[in-house]
C-alpha cells in the first residue's frame, strides 16, 4: 500500500506567514494573555511553535506549527479555531484564574475554550512532540491538543474512536473541508467524502469486504498511532512503514485537501517536505473530486485533472465539483435517436438502475435505451463467471480512467452526434489545463440540476406503516457474492439535511401523510423543489455515528423497485429520513379502487417481486423486509411499484423497542408467516409468504385482515384466504372456469388466462405453510418472467 508518489508538495499543505518580531515563552501560567501580535510559545527543543497565525486579511487562528519555515511559510499541525478566525483587534488567548483557556475576539466574544477549571496552579506548555498541554502542578493533564486533532496526526499522537481528521477546505483556506478520517462503528478506519450534496465512503474500497481490504472489524479498541520510526499501526490491522522508515526525520500524517491520506517527512538536506506514504496510489478513486458527467484522469507527470465526457460541457468554469452538463438535446421519445460511444478503461461508480448478469452488448444497449434516465452503462467482464454484466447508470458520478480498469463504459448520446464525437478521438484534454483543482465552494450552494431532474422522476406517497425489519448479515457466506455484486449498489450518495431545512420543507411538519410504529411521515417540498416524504423516526438510535452507519446500508440499496432514499437528518434528538414521494400512494389505497386493471396488477406483482428479490439476494448484506403488505408497496405516477420501509429495524433503538413494542415488531397481522407464530427461525421466506398473501389479495379482491376501514370487500383470515383459493381451484380439473371464480369480479373477463393461472400458482406456492415449500423471491421473478418469454 505504501506507494510513493512524486507529488508536488508545495500545493498540498497549507503554509502561512506569521507576524514578525515576537517574544517567545516556553510556559504560560494563570493570568497570562497571548495577543495576536507578539507572543509565541515554543517547545523546549524549538521544533514546534504555538501562537497566532495570519490566515487571511485581518484574520488569525491560534495554531501550532513547525518552527522552521519552508520558503517563508509555516507548516501548521493544529488550530484551535480553524472555522472561526479572530480579527486581531483586542483578540487573544488567556489562561484564566479559573484554569480555563479562553480565546476571545474583540475583547469579549468567546471563540474557543478548553472548558477546563482548576483551583491549583496550572501551566500551559508546548511539548517536544508538538502536544500543547494544560497541566496542574502535580502533572495532571487537564487538556491537550493531541486529543483534538484538525487534519494532522503527529508521531505518538493517538487516533481513537473520539478523534477525527478533517481535511482543510483548500490550499489557502484552513477551515474544515469535505474529507474525513474516522473509526466507523465497524471499528475500521475509513475515509469519507462528505460534500454538500453527497456523502460517500471511499477507503477502503467500498465494494471490498473488510477482510479483502486487509482490515478487521473484530478488535473494537479503535486505536491507531504513527510512531517515531514511521511505523503506523491500527487496531483494524491496518499497518504500514513509511518509505523512509527509521528514527530521524520529522513526520506528519495529514488528510490533505485533495482527500488523500499521506505521511509527509521533512527532508533535512534541503528543508522540504516529501510524501513517504499515501493511502492509495490512484488519487482519482477519491470520490467527489470531479462532479457529475465528468471524469478524473491521473498521470504521475501532470497530476490529477478533471475532464467532461464527450458531448458534455463544464457547468462552472471555476469549480469542477459542479461537473458537466449535456451539450445536446436529450430525446427519450425515439429510441433510434440515441447512440452510444465507448470510453475505454473508464469506470463510473454507483447509481445503477440494476444489475444484469450475462448480458450481450446489444441487450445492454436496448436495456439502457428503455429508460429515459439511463445516461450510459458500464459493461463489465466478470472474471469468476466468465461473462459480461450490464450496469445501466442513472447518474455518471465518481468517474475515473485507469489502465488498471479493463472495462469500458458506454455513454448515451444523440445518434446525430455519435459519429463526430467518437471520431474526434480527443483525450478531452483541451478543456482543462489545471492539475489539482481545489474544491472550494460555499456549503449552501445547490447545483447539479442534472442530478435533480433524474431524481424528479416519480412522486408519490405512502402510508409508511412500518415496524419490523431484521437485517441479517451473513457476511462470510456472502463474501464471494458481495465481491461480484458489490460493484453495483455501493456508494449511492445521499445527503445530510439540517433539521431546520426539513422543518421548512414540511411547513413545520404540518402535512401528515402516514403514521406507523416507527414514526410519522410528512409531505414536504425541498429547497430544490423536489417533493419528498419525510419520515420522523421515533425511538431511533441516538448516536449519530451509529445512525449513519446503519443508514448507509439502506442508502446503498438501489433498485428501481425499491423506494429511493435521498437523505437523512441527525441533529440533537431528531432522526429523520427523506424519501422520494410517490404520487399514487400505497397499493392498499389503490387495491380496491378501479384504477388498477389486470395489466397494472401483474406489473405490480412482478415489480414487487423484483424489489424483494434484490433485497434478499443481490445486496451486500442480506436484508429481510419482514413487513410486506399493501401499505408498504408504493406506486409511482406510472403505477410502477416500489417497496418501502425496508431496513428500518436497525435504525430503531432496540432496547427501547424490546421493552415496549416487541410484539409489534414482527410484521402486520394478516400477512405474517406461520414462523412468527410458532417461533421458528426467521428467514427470507417470511417475506415470500407475505408476498403470496398480497398477490392473492390482488387477484381475489378479498382482504386477508379485518383492519381496513372500507367494508365493501369480503374479509378473510390469511389461512382461510389461501384455503378458499385452493378449494375453489381443486374442485374440478377444468381450471379455466374455476380460475374465473376466484378472480376479483371487478377484473371481469379482462385478463390473460394463462398469466393469471401462473400468478395464482406462484402466489399459492409462496403462501405455503412449510417455508421450504415456498420458492425464493428470485424464483418468483423467474417464474413470472418466464411466462412472458413463452408468449
Q: Tell me the binding residues.
A: 535
Interface pick for ligand NAG out of 137, 429, 477, 542 (rule CB under 6 A):
542
Give dist(CA 256, CA 353) in Å, integer: 34
Region 249-288 residues binding ligand NAG, contact defined as CB under 6 A? 267, 269-270, 272
Region 612-651 residues binding ligand NAG, contact defined as CB under 6 A? none
Q: All 3 cell numbers of residue 743?
A: 378472480
Task: Give the shortest CB-603-to-ligand NAG separation in angstroms.
Answer: 25
Window 219-248: contact mask with ligand NAG (x via CB under 6 A): x-x-x---------x-x-------------
Task: Give the shortest CB-509-to-ligand NAG separation in angstroms.
Answer: 8
All residues at 6 or more sequence positions from 250 whose CB lies less than 8 Å from its CB, including other chains: 47, 66, 265, 266
Task: Give whole-number Cα distances, 74 to 13, 124, 276, 430, 690, in Å.
Answer: 10, 22, 20, 36, 65
Count the alpha carbons within 13 Å of 365 in the hemisphere toward its beta carbon: 16
Give dist(CA 644, CA 568) in Å, integer: 16
Task: Give the shortest CB-246-to-ligand NAG separation in angstroms.
Answer: 15
Q: If you ran DSSP here, which 8-state letter would residue 359 be given?
A: -
Nearer residue to ligand NAG within complex by CB, 385 or 680 = 385
Nearer residue to ligand NAG within complex by CB, 317 or 358 = 358
- DSSP states along 717-761: -HHHHHHHHHHHHHT-S-HHHHHHHHS-GGGTT-S-HHHHHHHHH
Peptide bond into 741 cis (omega under 30): no
Annotated binding-site members for ATP: 535
Residue with cell 451473513: 474
Nearest in space to 195 (alpha carbons), one of 310, 305, 80, 319 = 319
Nearer residue to ligand NAG within complex by CB, 42 or 118 = 118
Window 703-742: contact mask with ligand NAG (x via CB under 6 A): ----------------------------------------
Nearer residue to ligand NAG within complex by CB, 18 or 588 = 18
Task: Give the shortest CB-183-to-ligand NAG separation in angstroms.
Answer: 12
Window 52-81: contact mask with ligand NAG (x via CB under 6 A): ----x-------------xxxx--------
All residues at 6 or more sequence positions from 543 whose CB lies less than 8 Å from its CB, including other chains: none
Nearer residue to ligand NAG within complex by CB, 291 or 311 = 311
Q: For 538-684, where are the alpha helices, taking DSSP H only?
A: 544-556, 587-591, 598-613, 654-660, 674-677
Nearer residue to ligand NAG within complex by CB, 246 or 543 = 543
Interface pick for ligand NAG out of 211, 328, 356, 676 (rule CB under 6 A):
328
Nearer residue to ligand NAG within complex by CB, 10 or 637 = 10
Interface pick for ligand NAG out of 125, 169, 559, 616 (rule CB under 6 A):
169
Burial of 328 by CB count in 10 Å (0-12 exposed, 13-18 middle, 19+ buried)? middle
Nearest in space to 27 (alpha carbons), one of 118, 126, 111, 115 = 126
Count the alpha carbons within 13 Å of 503 in the hemisphere toward its beta carbon: 8
Beta-ladder partners of 160 = 223
Give dist(CA 480, CA 484) in Å, integer: 7
Stretch that binds ligand NAG, among 190-198, 291-299, 412-420, 469-477 (CB under 6 A): 412-420
Task: Give the shortest CB-726-to-ligand NAG separation in angstroms.
Answer: 35
Q: Is 327 in the site for ligand NAG (CB under 6 A)?
A: yes
Asked whether the beta carbons of 52 and 23 are under 8 A apart, the reply is no
Stretch that binds ligand NAG, among 138-146, 334-342, 400-408, 644-652 (CB under 6 A): 334-342
Q: Is 311 in the site for ligand NAG (CB under 6 A)?
A: yes
CB neighbourhood size of 125 (10 A): 18
- DSSP states along 285-299: GSTTSS-TTEEEEEE
Region 744-783 residues binding ligand NAG, contact defined as CB under 6 A? none
Active site residues: 627
Asked whether the beta carbons of 92 and 33 are under 8 A apart, the reply is yes
Stretch that binds ligand NAG, among 290-298, 333-341, 391-399, 740-748 (CB under 6 A): 333-341
Task: Give the shortest CB-422-to-ligand NAG separation in angstroms.
Answer: 11
The residue ranges of DSSP E strands in 80-207, in sequence order, are 92-95, 101-105, 109-113, 122-126, 132-136, 141-144, 152-153, 159-160, 165-170, 173-183, 189-194, 199-203
Task: Give the shortest CB-562-to-ligand NAG separation in angstroms.
Answer: 25
Q: Is 381 in the site for ligand NAG (CB under 6 A)?
A: no
Window 435-474: contact mask with ligand NAG (x via CB under 6 A): -------x--------------------------------
SS3 state at 365: helix
Q: If you ran DSSP here, which 8-state letter would residue 615 be given?
A: I
Task: Give the shortest CB-653-to-ligand NAG separation in angstroms.
Answer: 4
Nearer residue to ligand NAG within complex by CB, 510 or 529 = 510
Window 335-364: contact mask with ligand NAG (x via CB under 6 A): -xx--------------------x------
Number of residues that bind ligand NAG (CB under 6 A): 44
Q: Is 15 in the site for ligand NAG (CB under 6 A)?
A: yes
Region 681-710 residues binding ligand NAG, contact defined as CB under 6 A? none
* Angle of helix 685-700 versus helix 598-613 axis, rounded to 10: 180
- DSSP states along 381-412: EETTTTEEEEEEESS--S-EE-TT----EEEE
Task: Give the shortest CB-420-to-ligand NAG separation in angstroms.
Answer: 6
Region 477-536 residues binding ligand NAG, contact defined as CB under 6 A? 508
Task: Give the shortest CB-302-to-ligand NAG separation in angstroms.
Answer: 17
Nearer residue to ligand NAG within complex by CB, 142 or 461 = 142
Which residue ranges make up the site for ligand NAG (CB under 6 A)? 10, 15, 56, 70-73, 117-119, 169, 173, 175, 219, 221, 223, 233, 235, 267, 269-270, 272, 311, 327-328, 334, 336-337, 358, 385, 387, 414-417, 420, 442, 508, 541-543, 653, 655-656
Amino acid at each position: 500500500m505504501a506507494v510513493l508518489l512524486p507529488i508536488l508538495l508545495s500545493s498540498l499543505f497549507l503554509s502561512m506567514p506569521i507576524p514578525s518580531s515576537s517574544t517567545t515563552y516556553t510556559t504560560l501560567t494563570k493570568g497570562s494573555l497571548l495577543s495576536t501580535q507578539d507572543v509565541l510559545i515554543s517547545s523546549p527543543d524549538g521544533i514546534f511553535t504555538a501562537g497566532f497565525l495570519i490566515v487571511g486579511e485581518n484574520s488569525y487562528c491560534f495554531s501550532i506549527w513547525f518552527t522552521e519555515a519552508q520558503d517563508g511559510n509555516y507548516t501548521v499541525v493544529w488550530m484551535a479555531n480553524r472555522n472561526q478566525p479572530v480579527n486581531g483587534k483586542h483578540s487573544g488567548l488567556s489562561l484564566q484564574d479559573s484554569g480555563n483557556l479562553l480565546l476571545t475576539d474583540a475583547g469579549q466574544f468567546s471563540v474557543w475554550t478548553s472548558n477546563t477549571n482548576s483551583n491549583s496552579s496550572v501551566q500551559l506548555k508546548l511539548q517536544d512532540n508538538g502536544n500543547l498541554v494544560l497541566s496542574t502542578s502535580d502533572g495532571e493533564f487537564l487538556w491537550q491538543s493531541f486529543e483534538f486533532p484538525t487534519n494532522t496526526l503527529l508521531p505518538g499522537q493517538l487516533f481513537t474512536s473520539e478523534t477525527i481528521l478533517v481535511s482543510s477546505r483548500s490550499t489557502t483556506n484552513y477551515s474544515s473541508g469535505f474529507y474525513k478520517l474516522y473509526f466507523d462503528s465497524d471499528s475500521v478506519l475509513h475515509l469519507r467524502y462528505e460534500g454538500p450534496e453527497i456523502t460517500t465512503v471511499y477507503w477502503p474500497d467500498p465494494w471490498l469486504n473488510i477482510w479483502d481490504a486487509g482490515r478487521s472489524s473484530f478488535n473494537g479498541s479503535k486505536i491507531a498511532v504513527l510512531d517515531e520510526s514511521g511505523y503506523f499501526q491500527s487496531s483494524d490491522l491496518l499497518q504500514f512503514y513509511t518509505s523512509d522508515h527509521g528514527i530521524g526525520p520529522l513526520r506528519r500524517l495529514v488528510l490533505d485537501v485533495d482527500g488523500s491520506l499521506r505521511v509527509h517527512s521533512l527532508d533535512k538536506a534541503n528543508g522540504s517536505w516529501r510524501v513517504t506514504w499515501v493511502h492509495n496510489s490512484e488519487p482519482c478513486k477519491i470520490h467527489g473530486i470531479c462532479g457529475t458527467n465528468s471524469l478524473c484522469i491521473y498521470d504521475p507527470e501532470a497530476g490529477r485533472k478533471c475532464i467532461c465526457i464527450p458531448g458534455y460541457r463544464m457547468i462552472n468554469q471555476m469549480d469542477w465539483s459542479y461537473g458537466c452538463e449535456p451539450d445536446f438535446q436529450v430525446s427519450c421519445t425515439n429510441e433510434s435517436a440515441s447512440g452510444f460511444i465507448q470510453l475505454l478503461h473508464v469506470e463510473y461508480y454507483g447509481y445503477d438502475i440494476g444489475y444484469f448478469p450475462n448480458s450481450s452488448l446489444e441487450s445492454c444497449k436496448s436495456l439502457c435505451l428503455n429508460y429515459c434516465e439511463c445516461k450510459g452503462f458500464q459493461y463489465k467482464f466478470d472474471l469468476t463467471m466468465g461473462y459480461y454484466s450490464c450496469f445501466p447508470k442513472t447518474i455518471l458520478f465518481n468517474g475515473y480512467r485507469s489502465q488498471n480498469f479493463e472495462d469500458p463504459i458506454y455513454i448515451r448520446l444523440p445518434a446525430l452526434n455519435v459519429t463526430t464525437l467518437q471520431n474526434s478521438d480527443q483525450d478531452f484534454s483541451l478543456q482543462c489545463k489545471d492539475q489539482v483543482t481545489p474544491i472550494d465552494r460555499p456549503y449552501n450552494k445547490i447545483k447539479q440540476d442534472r442530478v435533480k431532474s433524474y431524481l424528479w422522476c416519480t412522486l408519490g406517497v405512502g402510508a409508511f406503516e412500518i415496524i419490523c425489519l431484521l437485517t441479517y448479515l451473513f457476511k462470510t457466506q456472502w463474501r464471494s457474492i458481495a465481491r461480484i455484486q458489490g460493484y453495483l449498489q455501493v456508494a449511492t450518495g445521499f445527503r445530510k439535511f439540517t433539521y431546520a431545512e426539513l422543518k421548512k420543507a414540511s411547513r413545520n411538519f404540518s402535512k401528515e401523510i402516514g403514521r406507523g410504529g416507527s414514526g410519522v411521515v410528512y409531505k414536504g417540498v425541498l429547497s430544490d423543489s423536489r417533493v419528498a416524504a419525510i419520515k420522523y423516526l421515533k425511538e431511533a438510535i441516538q448516536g449519530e455515528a451509529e445512525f449513519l452507519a446503519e443508514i448507509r446500508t439502506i442508502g446503498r440499496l438501489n433498485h428501481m423497485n425499491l423506494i429511493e432514499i435521498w437523505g437523512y437528518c441527525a441533529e440533537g434528538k431528531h432522526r429523520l429520513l427523506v424519501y422520494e414521494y410517490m404520487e399514487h400512494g400505497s397499493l392498499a389505497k389503490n387495491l380496491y379502487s378501479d384504477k388498477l386493471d389486470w395489466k397494472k396488477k401483474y406489473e405490480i406483482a412482478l415489480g414487487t417481486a423484483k424489489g424483494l428479490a434484490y433485497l434478499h439476494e443481490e445486496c451486500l448484506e442480506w436484508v429481510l423486509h419482514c413487513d410486506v403488505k399493501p401499505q408498504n408497496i408504493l406506486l409511482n405516477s406510472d403505477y410502477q411499484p416500489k417497496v418501502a420501509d425496508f431496513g428500518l429495524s436497525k435504525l430503531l433503538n432496540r432496547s427501547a423497542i424490546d421493552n415496549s413494542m416487541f410484539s409489534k415488531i414482527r410484521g402486520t397481522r394478516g400477512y405474517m408467516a406461520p414462523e412468527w407464530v410458532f417461533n421458528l427461525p426467521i428467514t427470507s421466506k417470511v417475506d415470500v409468504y407475505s408476498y403470496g398473501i398480497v398477490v392473492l389479495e390482488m387477484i381475489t379482491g378479498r382482504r386477508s385482515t379485518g383492519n381496513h376501514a372500507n367494508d365493501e370487500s369480503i374479509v378473510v383470515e390469511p389461512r382461510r384466504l389461501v384455503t378458499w383459493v385452493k378449494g375453489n381451484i381443486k374442485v374440478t380439473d377444468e381450471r379455466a372456469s374455476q380460475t374465473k371464480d376466484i378472480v376479483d369480479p371487478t377484473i371481469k373477463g379482462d385478463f390473460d388466462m394463462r398469466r393469471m393461472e401462473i400468478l395464482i400458482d406462484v402466489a399459492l406456492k409462496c403462501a405455503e405453510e412449510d417455508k421450504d415449500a415456498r420458492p425464493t423471491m428470485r424464483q418468483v421473478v423467474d417464474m413470472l418472467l418466464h411466462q412472458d418469454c413463452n408468449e
